[in-house]
Amino acid sequence: MAKIIAIANQKGGVGKTTTAVNLGTGLASEGKKVLLIDGDPQASLSISLGYDEPDKLEVSLVDILSNVVNEEEIPENYAVLNVRENVDLIPSNIELSAVEISLVNTMSRELVLKSYIDSIKDRYDFIIIDCMPSLGVMTVNALACADTVLIPVQAAYLPVKGLQQLIKTIYTVKRRLNAKLEIEGILLTMVDNRTNYAKDIAMEVNDVYGRSIPVFPIEIPLSVRAAEISSVAKSIFEYDPKGKAAFAYLSLTKEVLAHGC
């Protein structure tokens, strides 16, 4: 049965999608069967995996959610795209914004995604959900079905400041909807260790949150090569296998595997 990891932060541009792609690819390279779910209407994950025009895809996460809400049967592998060995993708597109609005009036709206994932999780070792940069209904849906939350945080003042609201939301979901939900860890991203500023931010995160929440010992370095992978539809392991970012994401993969399925 799959371990379900939501990658979440309401702040955009902190490396959620890059982390989803590289963690998913890293786990797949270790022989794990991985499903990546694009939970963002901007479809950054879908684009990063080679689907340049996600709005033209015939079916997506939008159709799955609509079928669940309307209690319609979902065929096996419906909207599931195989992107590379051991890696499948359920893509997203801009229509997901409308679905999120419509879910507000749906009974048990926070559990729509869980209803679907419960039906497929036996097929995978890991299911990774790339959440949208908000704490809306879709992000709550992801948290409601996840086993753990991985929180990428850019090593800068404002992203770190926003952590408090996210953590509050996670514990609210744990209390009301998903008692098994835990925090996989806070992952510092875009870390420029040449500056004292980045070192100070890392120290602050460990001081403020490290006593009660896991903080990954791995830091993802600031890397132009890592930023480029979305435009070439490759993982960092394919694009810059000997770079510092690839080494960091390999270390993250091993850390997540050590936490177990």
* Domain annotation for the chain: domains and CATH numbers: 3-259 (3.40.50.300)
Coil vs helix vs strand at 210: coil
Instruction: Select, from the ranges 4-18, 117-131, 209-223, the one with the highest average predicted confidence (pLDDT).
Output: 117-131
* 46's tokens: 């879908």
Q: What's the gap between Cα 241 and its chain centre?
A: 22
Helix (H, G, I), strand (E, B) or coil at 74: coil
Q: Is the pLDDT of residue 158 over 80?
A: no
Q: What is the model's pLDDT at position 260?
A: 67
The single-letter code of the amino acid at 41 is: P
Sign, CA torsion 131/134/135/141: negative
70 secondary structure, DSSP code:
T
DSSP structure class, residue 228: H
Helix then strand count (H, E) for the chain reads 12, 8
Q: How far apart are CA 144 and CA 178, in angstroms?
A: 5
Mean pLDDT of the chain: 91
Q: Is 20 in contact with 33 (CB distance < 8 Å)?
A: no
Q: pLDDT of 223-241, one tens digit each?
A: 888 888 878 888 999 888 8
Segment 16-69, tens digit of pLDDT = 999 999 999 999 999 999 999 999 999 999 999 999 999 999 999 999 999 999
